[in-house]
Amino acid sequence: MNTVHEPSTPPTHRTGVAPDRSSRQQAVERVRAWSTHHPVTAFLVIGFAIAYPVMSLPIMASHGVIPDGWMPQAAGVDPERIASVLGILLGLLPAALWVTWATDGAPGVRSLGRRMVQWQIGARWWVMVLAGLPGLTLMLALLLGDTFTPVEIGPFAAGQLIGLLVNLLLINMWEETAWAGVVQTRLKHHHGMTKAALLTAVPFALFHMPLTSSATSLPGRSSAPWSASSSSAPSSGS
């Protein structure tokens, strides 16, 4: 009885696919290991590496360096606010989520999300938060020579409330998640609350420096950081 042997087909190798996937996975694991051992440093490096370039786009557009047709045109939406939103949502927030995932995994990310909406503060602190900045703005404006001007209470209050909600939903909530929820919380475990707050203030100020520089260099803009808020109520006494 004769047995016919068919030539075996050599196995095909998808060259480049598995090694590339493996190398990418190894790179991710190395970055994750580094982020786990140095979470605050990782947050600052990743966050600033993304935030500064994207924040420069609306600032350059406002100076005519690049086209500005892509920027939204609406009352109260200035280049600094657009830069803040881009820097926070594309830089700080992803860096905060990455560091949290690298160190604590998916449960840590879920815990961070829960802490975002758990505001356990008393009524006294709510009064300080809601009235402190407007009161300080008004006081500084008056000290610098501004005077009161009549305004329609309804539209003025509505505009301020809308601005407060926009800032809360697009800027403040996500920014504080990054700085207070990740950076300051991790520093607090090693240095205590006071020192952690002081250490967090340094990169916090560095993050906002491009916004301050842009505001002071734009034509017709005051160099005072509170000028955008004070212009809606007091006016110059000249």
Tokens of 101: 């995932």
Per the domain annotation, does 222 fall within a domain?
A: no
Residue 230 has a pLDDT of 35
Residue 92 has a pLDDT of 96
Tokens of 164: 């407060």
pLDDT in tens, the chain (238 residues): 455 554 555 554 455 555 567 888 899 999 999 999 999 999 999 999 999 999 999 988 888 889 988 888 766 678 888 899 999 999 999 999 999 999 999 999 999 999 888 877 777 887 877 788 778 888 888 898 888 888 888 887 887 788 788 888 889 999 999 999 999 999 999 999 999 999 999 999 999 988 876 655 544 444 333 333 333 333 334 3
Per the domain annotation, does 79 fall within a domain?
A: yes
Per the domain annotation, does 197 fall within a domain?
A: yes
DSSP one-letter string for 99-131: HHHHHHHHHHHHHHHHHHH-----HHHHHHHHH
The 10s digit of each residue's pLDDT in 81-93 is 889 999 999 999 9
Per the domain annotation, does 226 fall within a domain?
A: no
Per the domain annotation, does 125 fall within a domain?
A: no
What domain count does the chain have? 1
Residue 227 has a pLDDT of 36
The number of residues making up the chain comes to: 238
Rounded distance, CA 199 to CA 194, Å?
9
Phi/psi for 180 (5° steps) reads: -80, -40
Q: Is 7 exposed, middle or buried (0-12, 13-18, 19+ CB in 10 A)?
A: exposed
**Is the Cβ–Cβ distance between 178 and 100 less than 8 Å?**
no
Range of the domain at 58: 37-117+154-213
Per the domain annotation, does 69 fall within a domain?
A: yes
Please name every residue paired with 147 in a beta bridge, in sequence order, or none if there are none.
Answer: 235
CB neighbour list of residue 230: distance below 8 Å, 6 or more residues apart: 137, 138, 140, 141, 146, 224
**Is the Cβ–Cβ distance between 42 and 35 less than 8 Å?**
yes
Per the domain annotation, does 223 fall within a domain?
A: no
